[in-house]
Amino acid sequence: MKNIILISLLFFAFFSCTQQKEIAKSKAVVQAVSVDSTEYEIMIIDPDFDTWYLVNFAPSLDRSDDYYRLRNTVAVNNWNHYYISGRYSRIIGSHIHYVPSTDYGIEVNRKLYWFFKYYEEKFRVPLFK
């Protein structure tokens, strides 16, 4: 019995020790992005936001890009202040890098503004004050 086990172990050890297969080399793809074609996108991970946005946003409530930019600047400053001070540490867990002089486009500014409105309503965090 011991001989059968020993022979089978040697058999499996012999055939399991093979050369490593050669790794296929892939070519790196580099894409140049010009400054004029820079596009920004905002991704909101909260699953309830999309439903809330569809219910609360209406085209009649839409504002200008400058309005959204100014309001977002206030909200981002308050958000980052709360993050640094730890005041709402259970619900604000990251820093937002928002540069008001950068043209993010009205879609990004609008969605960020409405996200802040959603956050104010859901968590009672004063972001626009």
> 49-100 pLDDT, tens per residue?
999 999 999 999 999 999 999 999 999 999 999 999 999 999 999 999 999 9
Integer angstrom CA distances of residue 4 from 7, 9, 10, 42, 58: 5, 9, 10, 64, 78
**Cβ atoms of 44 and 96 closer than 8 Å:** no
Residue of 9 and 114 predicted with greater confidence: 114
Residue of 33 and 55 predicted with greater confidence: 55
Domain boundaries, the chain: 64-129
For the cut 60, the answer to whether the pLDDT of residue 35 exceeds it is no
Average pLDDT over residues 7-19: 62
